[in-house]
Amino acid sequence: MLFYIVRKLLATVPTLFGVALIVFVLFNMVGGDPTYQMLGRHASEQQIQEVRHEYGFDQPKPVQFLTYLKQIATFDYGRSFATRQPISQMILEGAGPSLSLMIPAFLITTILSVGIGLLVAYFKGRSLDRFVVVVCVFGMSVPMLAYILFGQYFLAYRWGWFPISGYESTWPDRIQYILMPMLIFVIVSLGYDVRFYRAAILEETTQDYVRTARAKGLSEFEVFFRHVLKNSMVPILTNIVLEIPLLILGAFLLESFFGIPGLGSITIDAVNNSDFPVIKAMTTLVSFLYILGNLATDILYVVVDPRVRLK
């Protein structure tokens, strides 16, 4: 297993380098000189030269790329165009609100979706199964924005169950502000996840070992919970781990509409202000999290299915 993990770690190095190169080319070469985006076309030549020197845009491109690699290695992305704050500090400050919203929502979604997926697979073809599939398809068809507007108007404004928007830094006061965004995230995510896990579990029920277990006299409960669920963990873990980096993307709308100062809000503000250093830092962060998610998935495969290391 150690050799397998080391091999996978080494395989991520060229991928990480390739992602860094692509992001650098997109933001430093294809998009033109970002100095004009920051100062505008009517800035004086002295102002342009000062900003170019401050952010290193006057350096040769290979030197800029090496500086960018150093920023990634040291988690020091420089300063924001708009706020002049250190970008690393902005990311660390925004990580707390984002994680306080997305981690509970993600855990609740995962537990519910796996449980419901297993339940409807157990009752395949019956009324409960058909009803849940219809509800899931309906839930997937409605965009998140519609749920946000419905929640803010009815649940918050008309019925007063939740605050419309806002955020508190202290934990007891924070809960009331993240409950409705958390509920919306769970509702939006359940449709796809339940259908995915249901399909993965049903595919496993067609295997020979399931027929053997039934022929040996095991009850359907034992077949599903002792054998099918365990052997379905590879696709389930794949979906779970690969969704983790995408939590930042899922938080964009929620944080923007509910006034939560997390990573999603930071990214939206950076896009609106053409704050390229922040956008580049967030793009790099999400890309690397996705790669690390793939690496974690490969390692977890070995844990749930030791046959993987032999392939």
Q: Which of 54-58, 151-155, 163-167, 264-268 has the lowest mean pLDDT?
A: 54-58
What pLDDT shows up at residue 32?
64
**Mean pLDDT across 246-254:** 74
Burial 111-126 (b: 16+ CB within 10 A, else e): eebbebbbbbbbeeee
Q: Residue 210 burial by CB count (10 A; 0-12/13-18/19+): exposed, middle or buried?
A: middle
Structure-block tokens of residue 32: 């033109």
Share of residues in the chain with pLDDT > 70 (%): 94
More confident residue, 39 or 173: 173
Sign of CA dihedral 231, 235, 239, 242: positive
**DSSP letter string over 194-261?**
HHHHHHHHHHHTTSHHHHHHHHTT--HHHIIIIIIHHHTHHHHHHHHHHHSTTHHHHHHHHHHHHT--
Q: Is pLDDT of 73 > 80? A: yes
Residue 247 predicted with pLDDT over 80:
no
Residue 18 has pLDDT above 80, yes or no: yes
Between 35-39, 69-73, 211-215, 218-222, the lowest mean confidence (pLDDT) is in 35-39
Name the region of 78 (left: φ>0; alpha: ψ -120 to 50; beta: rest). Answer: left
Evaluate if residue 258 carries a pLDDT over 70: yes
237: nearest Cα among 158, 300, 175: 300
Cα separation of 137 and 120, whole Å? 14
What is the location of CATH 1.10.3720.10 in the chain? 94-272
pLDDT beyond 60 at 91: yes
Angle at 36 between CA 31 and CA 41, to 5 degrees: 130
Confidence of residue 293 (pLDDT cuts 50, 70, 90): confident
Could you tell me the pLDDT band of residue 299, with boundaries at 50, 70 and 90? Answer: confident
pLDDT at 31 (0 to 100): 62
Confidence grade of residue 253 (pLDDT, cut at 50, 70, 90): confident
Alpha-carbon dihedral of residues 270, 274, 278, 282, nearest 10 degrees? Answer: 70
Rounded Cα distance between 32 and 26, Å, is: 9
Give just the sign of the alpha carbon dihedral 194, 196, 202, 208.
negative
For 37, counting Cβ atoms within 10 Å of its Cβ (0-12 exposed, 13-18 middle, 19+ buried), the class is: middle
| Res 206: pLDDT | 83
What is the model's pTM? 0.83
Q: Is the pLDDT of residue 190 over 70?
A: yes
Q: How many Å separate Cα 70 from the centre of its chain? A: 25
Instruction: Name the strand (E) or helix (H) holding 119.
Output: helix 87-122
pLDDT at 283: 85
Which pLDDT does position 305 carry in this prediction? 67
User: What integer pLDDT is reported at residue 296 of this predicted model?
Assistant: 79
Mean pLDDT of the chain: 84
Q: Could you say which architecture CATH assigns to the domain 94-272?
A: Orthogonal Bundle (1.10)
Q: CB-hemisphere CA count at 13 Å for 309?
A: 14
Measuring CA to CA, which residue among 204, 272, 207, 269 is closest to residue 233?
A: 204
Place 287 in a pLDDT band, splitting at 50, 70 and 90.
confident
Q: Are 179 and 162 in contact (CB under 8 A)?
A: yes
Please tell me the distance from the alpha carbon of residue 23 to that of residue 287, in angstroms, as a whole number. Answer: 9
Using the predicted structure, report yes or no on whether residue 194 has a pLDDT greater than 90.
Answer: yes
Q: Provide the pLDDT for residue 112.
A: 94
Residue 183 predicted with pLDDT over 90: yes
The size of the chain, in residues, is 311
Summarize pLDDT for 120-142 with one digit per residue, the tens.
Answer: 988 888 999 999 999 999 988 88
Would you state the pLDDT for residue 193? 92
The two structure tokens encoding residue 102: 């997305």
Helix (H, G, I), strand (E, B) or coil at 151: helix
What distance in Å separates the CA atoms of residue 262 and residue 108, rounded to the nearest whole number? 20
